[in-house]
Amino acid sequence: MKLLPENTNINFLSKAPIALVLSVVAVLASIYIWFAKGEAKYGVDYKGGTEIVIELPGGSSESIRGALEKAGIISAMVQSFEKGSDQFSIKVSGSDEAAKEGIKNAIKTEFGDKFTIERIDVVGPTIGEELRAKALIATLFGMLGILAYIAFRFEFAFALGAVVAVFHDVIVCTGVYLFVGHEINASTLAAALTIVGYSVNDTIVIFDRVREEILKSKKFEIVELINRCINATLSRTIITNLLTLLSAVALLVYGGGAIADLSLFMVVGIIIGTYSTMFIASPIVIAWDRWAQARAQAKGAVGARS
């Protein structure tokens, strides 16, 4: 079976300028959302506070909010955990015994024994900030590791391209994630790291082909060569993306709760990972290559004159 006609030759890189504009807009928009949301974007894991998830058959966010207000808790955030489910998340910024017991009592007074507590997270403010700092450090070191390994196995230009692409992917995915109203917590981080994995994998597959072609050919034009490599691996790209997307969609549809959260990130990440290989990582390699050649020529010219 064949997915694509032989000698498929689409000039992907000619679309790079359009993609660049698109990416810059997406990255800026994501950064804007990140800062616009302020502290509110963090879940209790990274901010500190109390979150109680209850199951209340037939209940609504409004009725819970009402019960809390009756008990004098006005600053609580109440959300339906998933659309149409009986699970609700109640969040307050306090992380002491009083905050937790206050919510529990308010709910109990109003709903009696009709509810069950599914989950309680109480995170002190110092721990929240520590976890946040540690997550950041872990992610940064992960990225540095990628940079170092690719630079060692390929060339610096490739490493730079891959890492910029990864940053692009994580930033845009986080932007999308925040845009649809999710918050950043520990499982979000795991999802973001999964995207890093997919993005790097995709980039390396293409770069591996580029490396191979460069070694094979004596003379080449870099844009044409990379285009050729993207086309040569296109059927693989499509099949792999399709398959991973299908599993991610299965997770999204059947997973529910925290798993669905994760898979949304993955669906967006898989698509963006492929996009960024073609339109971010590759153009960076080309740009670097041109810059290096220009510098070599300039040096050569100086050398010839003297």
Taking CB under 8 A as the binding criterion, the range among 9-17, 22-30, 126-134, 294-302 that sits at the site for another protein is 126-134
The answer to the question of residue 228 lying near another protein (CB under 8 A) is no
The answer to the question of residue 131 lying near another protein (CB under 8 A) is yes
CB contact burial 248-266 (16+ within 10 A = b; e otherwise): beebbeebeebeebbbbbb
**Is the Cβ of residue 61 or residue 197 nearer to another protein in the bound state?**
197
How far apart, in whole angstroms, are the C-alpha atoms of residue 71 and residue 115? 17
How far apart, in whole angstroms, are the C-alpha atoms of residue 181 and residue 169? 18
Q: How far is CA 50 from CA 107, 182, 287, in A?
A: 15, 17, 49
**Which 135-154 residues touch another protein, going by CB under 8 A?**
135, 137-139, 141-142, 144-146, 149-150, 153
> Least distance from C-beta 36 to another protein, angstroms?
26
CB 229 within 8 A of CB 206: yes
Angle formed at CA 174 by CA 44 and CA 95, multiple of 5 degrees: 5
Taking CB under 8 A as the binding criterion, the range among 27-35, 64-72, 198-206, 296-304 that sits at the site for another protein is 198-206
**Which 56-115 residues touch another protein, going by CB under 8 A?**
none
**Which 3-32 residues touch another protein, going by CB under 8 A?**
3, 6
**Is the Cβ of residue 69 or residue 212 nearer to another protein in the bound state?**
212
In sequence order, the β-bridge partners of residue 91 are 51, 77
Angle, in degrees to the nearest 10, between helices 186-216 and 125-153: 10
The answer to the question of residue 167 lying near another protein (CB under 8 A) is no
Could you give the dihedral angle defined by the CA atoms of residues 141, 146, 152 and 157, in that order, rounded to the nearest 10 degrees?
-110
The answer to the question of residue 254 lying near another protein (CB under 8 A) is yes
15, 119, 290, 299: which one binds another protein (CB under 8 A) = 119
Taking CB under 8 A as the binding criterion, the range among 21-29, 169-177, 241-249, 290-298 that sits at the site for another protein is 241-249
DSSP 8-state code for residue 273: H
Tokens representing residue 32 in the block: 């804007």
DSSP 8-state code for residue 93: S
**Which 256-285 residues touch another protein, going by CB under 8 A?**
256-259, 262-263, 266, 270
Q: By CB under 8 A, how many residues form the interface with another protein? A: 73
**Is the Cβ of residue 26 or residue 205 nearer to another protein in the bound state?**
205
In sequence order, the β-bridge partners of residue 117 are 54
> Least distance from C-beta 121 to another protein, angstroms?
5
For 54, list phi and psi in degrees, rounded to 5.
Answer: -120, 155
The answer to the question of residue 189 lying near another protein (CB under 8 A) is yes
157, 251, 264, 285: which one binds another protein (CB under 8 A) = 251
